[in-house]
Each structure stands twice: as structure tokens, then as C-alpha cells.
Amino acid sequence: MDASRGRPALPELNLRTYVTCEGEPGIYFFSLDAQGVAGVLGARVTQHLPYYYARIGLDSTSDGDRIRFNSRRRHPGARPAHYTATYGPSGDAFDSSDDPQAQFLTERYRFYTEASDGTLRYTDVSHEPWTLYPAEAETETNTLFRADGFEQPDGEPVRYYSPGVDVTTGTSTRWSGGTQ
């Protein structure tokens, strides 16, 4: 996190779901949009993650209490996606392990991906528990679901804000378990 501005050092936008594979809870990413071409290509090759190159802008609002996030997918051959929102914390910080829903959403230590050959892969990750804040957000544009082949969900999303957490990733491993 860029502490002087309250913004992430490497901004990213992702669409994911929460899964459990043979007792191991994790995250399955449908897409991850990020600005750095080298990082996008590296993650696609080494971790088999569905990263896409995007132009991402972050600006503080005039009062400095919120962040304006704008992402436009620019990856060659990918469906375009555009997301614009203004967001920020709306309450006091809490440890994710103190709230069952927050813990379910953030305390995941594995991600699953599908490699280009169709095989399921997983990577173990490690991180400290997230420090979270209740959050408010105003979404102005969101074509991410459509770009990734989904209908826009109904209802209000769950929102948390975090200044970030350091994550260490292991090696991508081909799943050799039973059913997928």
C-alpha cells in the first residue's frame, strides 16, 4: 500500500469465487486485471493465472477520504472490461478473524486455476490475517461480469476495505486428486 496516498502499490481488479476442493478451501479466479505488462505475463506463465493487461488509474477524492478507481482491460484478444468506482473505509478497523463472514472471504490460503491445457492447478499462499474496515463504494461502470461471461448479480455486494497484506505464493502444482 502506498501509505502516503492510501492506495495499493500495484492496483488490480479481479473476479473470483470461493471454492473447496477435497477439503482445501481456496479461491478460483475468473480474471485478474493489472497494469504491469511484465507482471501480467509472468503470472500467466508461472502461476497459470488468468491475468489481463489493463490501464488502471487511482486518484484520491478532493477530500482525501475516498479513492477513485478506474480500470480498462487492454489485453490483446480479450473481451474488453471497464470498471469505475469510488470507495473507502466507513468504520473502525477489525481483524478478519473476528468476523465469520470476513474470515470466510479473506482467510484463504490456496488458489485454484485452470491451465491452458485444461488441467486444474493450485498454488498455496501465506499471509497474516487481514485488517479490514467496513466499506462504502459507489460503482459507476461495471462490465467485468459480462466480459467474463456472467450476468450481473442482483443484490448488494459485501464490501470491505483493507490497506493490504503481504502475500507469499508457492509453486503452481498440477492437481492430482480425485474429482474436480
One-letter identity of residue 1: M
Residues 119, 10, 81, 149: is their CA dihedral positive or negative?
positive
How far is the first Cα of the chain from the last one, in angstroms, to the nearest whole number? 35
Q: How far is CA 180 from CA 41, 146, 174, in A?
A: 26, 25, 12
Average pLDDT for runs of 10 along the chain of length 180:
48 93 92 88 84 93 90 94 97 92 93 89 92 96 97 93 89 76
CA gap 59, 138 in Å, rounded? 14
Report pLDDT for 9.
63
Report pLDDT for 179.
52
Report pLDDT for 180.
45
Q: Where are the domains of the chain?
A: 12-174
Residues 31, 144, 77, 68: is their CA dihedral positive or negative?
negative
What pTM was estimated for this model as a whole?
Answer: 0.85
The residue among 26, 86, 15 whose CA lies nearest residue 52 is 15
Query: Cβ contacts of residue 20 below 8 Å, gap of 6+?
Result: 26
Query: Cβ contacts of residue 58 below 8 Å, gap of 6+?
Result: 5, 7, 8, 11, 67, 68, 69, 70
